[in-house]
Amino acid sequence: MSIDVATIGVGLTAAGAALGAGIGNGLVISSMISGMARQPELEGKLRSNMFIGVGLVEAVPIIAIAIAFMLLGR
């Protein structure tokens, strides 16, 4: 059984994307919680900004996975 180099590349890309998304989401949510602890009256604004940040953080790994699978199909 032979494993293709492209398959290993897709696996590494998926692992890197998952790791990066996890770290990014952790930083965004951590910052939101510490900001909410300092100024509880800004909870609504902080929460909406957090959702925008999480969406942007999640977009990059999804694009990376899509490109990796497109290159695998070549």
Per-residue pLDDT, 72: 84
What DSSP line would sit under 11-56, residue for residue? HHHHHHHHHHHHHHHHHHHHHHHHHHHH-GGGHHHHHHHHHHHHHH
In the chain (74 residues long), the average pLDDT of successive 10-residue segments reads: 81 92 95 95 94 94 90 80
Per-residue pLDDT, 53: 93
Q: What is the pLDDT of residues 44-60, one digit of tens each?
A: 999 999 999 999 999 99
Per-residue pLDDT, 71: 83
Q: Which tokens hold the place of 54?
A: 């999480």
